[in-house]
Structure 1
Amino acid sequence: MALRDTSRPETAGPAAAAAALDAADRDRLLGGAHHDPHALLGAHPVRGGTLFRALRPHARAVSVLVDGMRNPLVSEGGGLFSAVLPYPRIPAYTLLVTYDEDEREVHDPYRFLPALGELDLHLIREGRHEQLWRALGAEPMVHQGVAGTRFTVWAPNAQGVRVAGDFTYWDGTQYPMRSLGASGVWELFLPGIGEGDRYKFEITSRHGHRFLKADPMARCTEVPPDTASVVTASHHQWGDGQWMAHRGDTPVHEAPFSVYEVHLPSWRPGLTYRQLADELPAYVKEMGFTHVELMPVAGHPFSGSWGYQVTSYYAPTPRLGSPDDFRYLVDRLHQAGIGVIVDWVPAHFPKDDWALARFDGDPLYEPGNAARAEHPDWGTYEFDYGRTEVRNFLVANAVYWCEEFHVDGLRVDAVASMLYLDYSRDSGQWEPNVFGGREDLDAVAFLQEMNATVYRRCPGVVTIAEESTAWDGVTRPTDAGGLGFGLKWNMGWMHDSLQYIQKEPVHRKYHHHEMTFSMVYAYSENYVLPISHDEVVHGKRALVSKMPGDWWQRRANHRAYLGFMWAHPGKQLLFMGQEFAQGAEWSEAQGPEWWLLDDGYHSAGDHRGVQALVRDLNALYRARPALWQRDTDPGGFRWVLCDAAEDNVFAFLRFAADGSPLLAVSNFSPVVRHDYRLGVPREVPAWQEELNTDDARYGGGGVAVGPPGALKPADGSLALTLPPLATVFLAPVP
């Protein structure tokens, strides 16, 4: 913070003593409980000249430097120094602060006007600041011609707030902030503080307690277990202009959407964001997925939460690098033609005493009702969606990830826990809404506002709800009374189909409806079919390990199931490791078992075969609009065979917008079915096999659906050989 050599400034004559501070003001100022320190510190016109007062704890002496002239101030004790100097108007000045070891020339933070505008404060009060991160937090800037950082924080219940950091040895005494009135915002511009400096807010609650809190709006944080916020600014130069300009050309529900879900810290353990940028885009592109979905990347203190207990909503986890490093990863994925979805967690936050919980000494981000604030499942707090500033914090956060990091979508976690007042609560543990119902009307309004704002501001972005109930209108537009999401995870399909596929084939006929029931409601929402991390942890076993039978049958079931999934209406999502039939549950410590694909492993060919199938499924999926163009249109699907329970066979047609069909047939029994007849459209004279999950290349038995070449129907039916435990795709011969 030194400005220039001050070894020999000329010393002015004696200054007049300043009137002592009012005892109450002095106590509040030194105790961190004053709402307007700028009224006491800095320079102020008084009778006889200008009063200068500085607060510099541990300093031996302080002088005011004006035009090269040193004007010593008088110590008042407690780190306060003051004097009335004979300047009729407040001059341009700096402070010379002498410590035991050195003397520093610094700018006085208390000579600066507020660095936050009235429009910002108005929007914050209204809860409508859609770029809240530009108003709150730590913003490096040049203010009144001086470089420094503006610190702002919302703490309406605090008696006082001070900035503490590594630059104050974590003592906030030197830098009390001023209250900006009814907004509840506190502000201070600190000259000389810049990128890389660590800080927290030292808050004095209305109860008199004093504590340090990380910045809720911090855009960078220390690596856990350290918890300080870090001043940062972005210098990344984006190279994804082509992607951003065209990502919204086709509505997502009418576009191919095949998602690879990734936990970044464990996908390739030890890799940084920039190292991942060299490997992840190449792998995802080779595998043919259109998008990656990243499990939460926002700052979280406990790695074992996988990111679902967020303490820093505006900062990517620093475990893998800086915010610009994360931007670089997104940029590289876009340049490879891959969209980026991030998991977003507005349903709850942890109780860490340095973070959001009871932020200014009272419930602030959480409801004041303790029973309502507690999330019964996760030992966390829920957000107070009815408070305008809290809703603004979350809505702006959704916009932040889309605008600042160019992400293409938000998958919103645990939506059901937000929508219902009685979620995981017994009778007597919750209160109904004003209409006597169990719906959380504030949460509904928040989700509608979030979706409407994101879609308005960020063309081409999609929001995706993880919503496990039959709530009506999750993907209906907000102007029609819906929640406004673009897509919804189809938890019913996931649960039912996994229940079916885990049964021994001999028992599957009793569960046939579990595979057909999804088509009863398939067009009630815009769906994603998710086989996510949730299905391969906590004793649920990996996907291939859920399957019955010996190793060959488990792999065959796995392949047939994936084929059925890619054929079914709805978008697809597959968690890492399942694309090559990893046998063990996922562990965030080890990540996917890539060694299963190594040449030295005896079953490497089996795993490579499943990997090749997923690659080919994605290639076929992209190439055939019938598989994605009419996912939300009932006219894009027709059952061919839905009641063959005794045979464990399912067959249906998918249609593209131009009417071109694709036939999908799944045989979930371990026997070959010869001369199996299926009704097909008469206008198609010949069919050909497009993909067969029993192909020897995938580790199957190599049973073909018919002789090589065209397969011709007779009397409107097509005779096929159905491979065992397999799904086959057929298309009209061009």
Structure 2
Amino acid sequence: MGHDQFGGLTGRDLEGFHNGGDTELWRRLGSHVVTLPDGAGGQATGVRFAVWAPNARSVQVIGDFNWWTGDALQLVPGSGVWATFIEGLGEGTLYKFRIETADGSWVEKVDPMARFSEQAPANASIVYESRYVWSDDEWMQARAASAAHAEPMSVYELHLGGWRRGKSYLDLAEELVSYVKWQGYTHVEFMPLAEHPFEPSWGYQVTGYFSPTSRFGKPDDLRYLIDRLHQAGIGVIMDWVPGHFPKDEWALGRFDGTALYEHADPRQGEHMDWGTYIFNYGRNEVKSFLVSNALYWAKEFHIDGLRVDAVASMLYLDYSREEGQWVPNEFGGRENLDAIDFLRYVNTHLYEREPGIIMIAEESTSFPGVTKPVHAGGLGFGFKWNMGWMNDSLRYVQLDPVYRQYEHNLLTFAMVYQYSENFLLPISHDEVVHGKGSMVNKVPQDDWRKFATLRAFYSYMWSFPGKQLVFMGCEFGQRPEFNESISLEWWVSELWGHGGLQRLFRDLNLTYRANPALYALDNDPSGFSWINADDAARNTLAWVRHDGQGNHVACITNFSPEPLTDYEIGLPTPGDWEEILNTDAPIYDGSGEFGNLGRIVADDRPWSHFPATARVTVPPLGSIWLRYSTAP
């Protein structure tokens, strides 16, 4: 068959892969059903297998079609890629690669580019071609014209296996979509859906970067779930893990007997804490592999955003290492220059190729310019998780109210650096696992105070500058920590306190989305004015949010168990202000005793830096939002 022994693959096809510029590598490597000229004027259909293993002596493909005994692949000249075409094979074929290493030993490996895999604990790769026809054109067109920073974003983070145990992608396309739409979130964020062998890793130990986990169905079933979310007006963010990969002997590690995807030197190539390998970001083929993977999820699955996991571990060569356990960069510093270049590359490429996509960094240090554009010297992310805000505010709500006055700055300090990055405020799965306790169990004292404090806290969070993210179960006050092996305790949402919190979340989302003052200028100092940042004695914070179009929402939160009556505040304009949220309302299982009868009137007496003054009632452990409605 001449060159068709490689299934139509040529050395020229692989040039981009080797220079780091192939951003659609899944089209070339892996397994593909192809139809080729058969040399006798006809055509032959079968599967082309191709795998990068430059230091192998020989490579075989083994599978259910050859009783797992092996068909030899040939080395595409000058490419380090081995390929073959086997006529008569098609979709559903199970296969692996058997690789003979330089020392003559043999290893069996799954395909790094597999687009479907056997369900764990089995791990064979599966030949798969998508036939999915999308119905989300309206969503994709609107996304391309969107401006994420000036739009509402409230994200529901979830682990698919633990949301409702035993549900498939197709089940979730009904149940999850209707629930998220009812709750009013703008986006879901899936914990990693790439194939992973160890379920308690929650997907953060990836063995199949191009393979959606088969635990919940086929890849086209996942496409259907995402399509249905889009048709319901809900964006889809997915966790992406380019920081490290597990050492399972059948996966990426020491793929051809040498350190291929990872650094050879353990000081650069291993995370001792996690027992994982670190990608070699300076290697062109690894860059092609990873940037292709990011684009793959966006192009092939219409993912709207990637939340990049553990960015800090990528940025610093000495991350979680003692002296002598790391290798400085060429300038003697601790920054991983290859990883920084790679992140700039992947962010630039995705924003160019996929209009409206959102790249989010989970970055826990003060590395400068995470969300600054690459051309301005930044990393080029769209958003960064605000870990400082999260740590400070959780420390605050865990204090007994009598001590909160002494730690008031925990809630005000975040405004000092608010405009240094484009922030997203996360109450994520990380905060409700590993002995940290659920959100409801972090708050001291009895159930009335626990739930009142949570309602006030989430109101404070939803009105603070920045987008929001909350982990599943927090919205109804689940008491146990997250456990991936069982479902959320949905039944408690019928109970007092839990149901009220769940109804509050719905109203927070709907009210937030209906009021541009709460989101339009998240990243602009003109979108926020303190009313009173310094009322530590009463555990109270007050501010106004603005949208630049004359709309204002005043937000006052009282973290003390004493009600505030006749509490004087300044406001940006006199006239009627409507009470659009009160976390003490009976519908949220509050007392209903402390409110403003739906509205207050501000008169034109100056107050501090404001032209108008009003007196309001703020409930104990409660929050109110007031929206300017009419002039006097």
The answer to whether TM tops 0.5 is yes
The question of 1:531 aligning with 2:427 is answered yes
Deviations 1:655-703 (A, max 9, x none): 013131110000000001111101111x331212110111111011113
Bigger Cα displacement from structure 2, 279-288 vs 367-376:
367-376
SS at match of 1:573: strand
Matched, 1:651 2:549: no
Structure 1 residues 524-546: Cα deviation after superposition (integer angstroms, max 9, x where no partner): 00000000000001111111111
Match of 1:473 in 2: 369
Which residue pairs with 2:531 in the alignment?
A: 640
Counterpart for residue 564 of structure 2: 673
Identity %: 52
Tell me which residue corresponds to 1:309: 205
Q: Note closer, same or farther for the CA distance 1:707–1:597 as it changes in structure 2 (3 Å cut).
A: closer
Q: Secondary structure at the match of 1:711?
A: strand
Deviation digits for residues 275-299 of structure 1, max 9, x if unmatched? 1101111100000000000000000
Given candidates 46, 56, 79, the residue that maps to 1:158 is 56
Q: In the alignment, is the contact (CA less than 8 A) between 1:528 and 1:571 conserved in 2?
A: yes
Please state if 1:631 is matched with 2:527: no
The answer to whether the aligner puts 1:325 opposite 2:221 as a matched pair is: yes
- Of residues 121, 141, 144 in structure 2, which corresponds to 1:248? 144
Confirm whether residue 411 of structure 1 aligns to residue 304 of structure 2.
no
Amino acid at match of 1:652: W
Once the two structures are superposed, the pairs formed by residues 58-207 of structure 1 within 5 Å of their partners are 112=5, 114-144=7-37, 145-172=43-70, 175-207=71-103
Q: Is the 8 A contact 2:440 2:454 kept in 1?
A: yes
Q: Distance in 2 between matches of 1:699 and 1:180?
A: 68
Aligned CA distance change for structure 1 residues 171 and 113 (closer, same or farther; 3 Å): closer
**Aligned partners of 2:194 and 2:209 also within 8 Å:** yes
2:240 aligned partner, one-letter code = W
Question: Unaligned regions of 5+ residues in structure 2, if any?
Answer: 38-42, 606-611
User: Aligned partners of 2:332 and 2:604: how far apart in 1?
Assistant: 61
Q: Deviations over 1:77-120 (max 9, x none)?
A: xxxxxxxxxxxxxxxxxxxxxxxxxxxxxxxxx97465114442
- Where do 5+ consecutive residues of structure 1 fail to align? 1-41, 44-109, 599-603
Q: Give the structure 2 partner of residue 705 of structure 1.
A: 595
Q: Deviations over 1:596-651 (max 9, x none)?
A: 124xxxxx132111000000000001000011100000110010000111110000
Q: Is the 8 A contact 1:120 1:129 kept in 2?
A: no
Q: Distance in 1 between matches of 2:60 and 2:422?
A: 48
1:140 deviation in Å?
Answer: 0.7
**In the alignment, which residue of structure 1 is the partner of 2:408?**
512
CA drift at 1:370: 2.3
Indicate if the aligned counterparts of 2:181 and 2:234 stay in contact, CA closer than 8 A. yes
**Divergent runs of 4+, >6 A:** none
Structure 1 residue 717: Cα displacement = 1.5
Contact 1:679 1:718 in 2 (8 A): yes
One-letter amino acid matched to 1:132: L
2:253 touches 2:277 (CA, 8 Å); kept in 1?
Answer: yes
Please tell me the residue identity of whatever aligns with 1:135. R
Provide the secondary structure at the position in 2 that maps to 1:431.
coil
Paired with 2:600 and 2:555, the residues of 1 have a C-alpha distance of: 16
Contact 2:4–2:85 (CA under 8 A) maintained in structure 1: no
CA drift of 1:163 comes to 0.8
The one-letter amino acid of 1:292's match is V
Q: CA deviation at 1:708?
A: 4.5
Does the 8 A contact of 1:532 with 1:574 survive in 2? yes
What secondary structure does 1:203 align onto? strand
Count residues in correspondence.
619
Partner residue of 1:53? none
DSSP 3-state at the match of 1:167: coil
Provide the rounded CA distance (Å) in 2 between the counterparts of 1:369 and 1:550: 53
Measure, in 2, the Cα distance between the counterparts of 1:133 and 1:464.
23
The answer to whether the 8 Å contact 1:277/1:333 transfers is yes
Q: Kindly indicate whether the alpha-carbon contact (under 8 Å) linking 2:145 and 2:355 is maintained by their aligned counterparts in 1.
A: no
Residue deviations 1:180-201 (CA, integer Å, cap 9, x gap): 1332111101111110010001
Hey, what's the Cα distance between the residues in 1 that align with 2:272 and 2:553? 47
2:532 is paired with a residue of what secondary structure? strand
> Which among 647, 660, 670 is matched to residue 551 of structure 2?
660
CA contact (8 A) 2:7 2:36 kept: no
Give the alignment's TM-score, normalised by structure 2: 0.96
Kindly tell me: are residues 726 and 191 of structure 1, through their superposed partners in 2, closer, same or farther at Cα, counting changes over 3 Å? same
Q: Residue 619 of structure 2 aligns to which amino acid in structure 1?
A: P
Aligned partner of 2:243 in structure 1 is 347
Whole-Å separation in 2 of the counterparts to 1:191 and 1:707: 77
Note the alpha carbon deviations across 1:48-87, whole angstroms, 9 max, x for none.
Answer: xxxxxxxxxxxxxxxxxxxxxxxxxxxxxxxxxxxxxxxx
Q: Which residue of 1 aligns with 2:498?
A: 607
**1:203-222 aligned within 5 A:** 203-222=99-118
The 3 A distance-change label for structure 1 pair 724 and 433 is same
Q: 2:578 aligns with which of 663, 688, 704?
A: 688
Q: Is contact 1:710–1:733 with CA below 8 Å preserved after alignment?
A: no
Q: 2:323 aligns with which of 427, 444, 449?
A: 427
d(CA) in 1 for partners of 2:443 and 2:550?
A: 36
More displaced stretch, 695-704 vs 570-579: 695-704
Number of the residue aligned with 1:229? 125
Paired residues of 1:161 and 1:176 also in contact (CA < 8 A): yes
Cα distance per residue 1:351-392 (max 9 Å; x no partner):
000000100001111101122211022111111111110111
Matched residues in 2 for 1:479 and 1:299: separation?
35
